[in-house]
Amino acid sequence: MNSNNNVISGPVRHGRNLSIDAEGSIHDDATAQKIGFRGGTVAGDVHLDQFAPLLLEAFGPTWFETGSLSLYFTHATTDGEPVVAFLERPTAGDHVQVKAWMETPEGVGVCQGTAGVGSPLEPSALYARDLRPMKPSALRILAGVVVGEALDGGVLAPRGAEQAIRLQQGLVSEPLDWYAHTTPWGGPIASPLTTAQLLHWEPVQALARRLPPSVGMFGAVEIRYVNGPVLLDERYAVTGVVVAVSDSPKTEVLWYDTVARAAGDEVVATCRMMTRFVKASSPLYVA
């Protein structure tokens, strides 16, 4: 890891496409190339783990208790493509937020956003964005999705077995001992990727099943620990809500928020997620 007075930067890492065998998805080379991408893409949430050592240097273990990482993706990477994570060096304090971003070694921006700890006064990168909501009736793929619609993921355990396999196979860009062994909080904790998976995946599945055929891809993700960390040996009630549906020249866009609660209704972590549905992949746009 490199650092100076203003910026902390990690080493070059090679993000892996963990869903490369998912035929018909944006992660599948043939499908991705058919709709104009260079190849199967690395899911945006995979890049979250690469920031962990930088976040620990900047904020210490408290980041896993009350920290946030809020990223908007601007360049889809492919399997093994080299990338570098960066973080502004924070000033001292319990409620701090700084810029966070990722680039290729050539300087192509992969994502940009914020990271913080505690309750900073300024909004995070994703909460500061204008979501440009529009009426669902103006859309095609997301025509049946209603803003305010409740999302229920049920009571879930983090994907600890999948995290263990990624660690064993060397697929975690920045592995920490805390992901597999004892920690200051007791048992092993969920990595940022595993935390994001807990929060964003199951709640939206019922909604996704009723959408017309199309290819989706992550466009932005924020995880925030409120009373963290997320422990692998705990179960959490995960619920959410649709906060916006919108449109871009090439995609239709779904924004939703989720929350994970421990026993006693204590909020442990939250997520804001944006998924893009590629128009060129849908028969509603392509005759």
This prediction has a pTM of 0.94
Question: Is 126 within a domain?
Answer: no
Provide the CATH number for the domain around residue 107: 3.10.129.10
Question: Is 272 within a domain?
Answer: yes
Report residue 152 as tokens: 């229920």
Question: Whose CA is closest to 228, among 276, 174, 272, 192?
Answer: 192
| Number of compact structural domains in the chain | 1
Question: Is 286 within a domain?
Answer: no
Kind plus residue range of the DSSP H or E element containing 33: helix 29-34
Q: Tell me the residue range of the domain where 58 lies.
A: 2-118+133-281
Question: Is 104 within a domain?
Answer: yes
CB 256 within 8 Å of CB 149: no
Question: Is 6 within a domain?
Answer: yes
Question: Is 43 within a domain?
Answer: yes
Question: Whose CA is closest to 16, among 234, 171, 132, 138?
Answer: 171
Question: Is 245 within a domain?
Answer: yes
At residue 20, the pLDDT reads 73
Beta bridge partners of 272: 222, 257
Question: Is 275 within a domain?
Answer: yes
Residue 281 DSSP class: G
pLDDT in tens, the chain (287 residues): 665 679 999 999 998 877 777 777 777 777 778 777 787 788 889 999 999 999 999 999 999 999 999 999 999 998 889 999 999 999 877 899 999 999 999 999 999 999 999 999 999 999 999 998 888 888 999 999 999 999 999 999 999 999 999 999 999 999 999 999 999 999 999 999 999 999 999 999 999 999 999 988 999 999 999 999 999 999 999 999 999 999 999 999 999 999 999 988 999 999 999 999 999 999 999 76
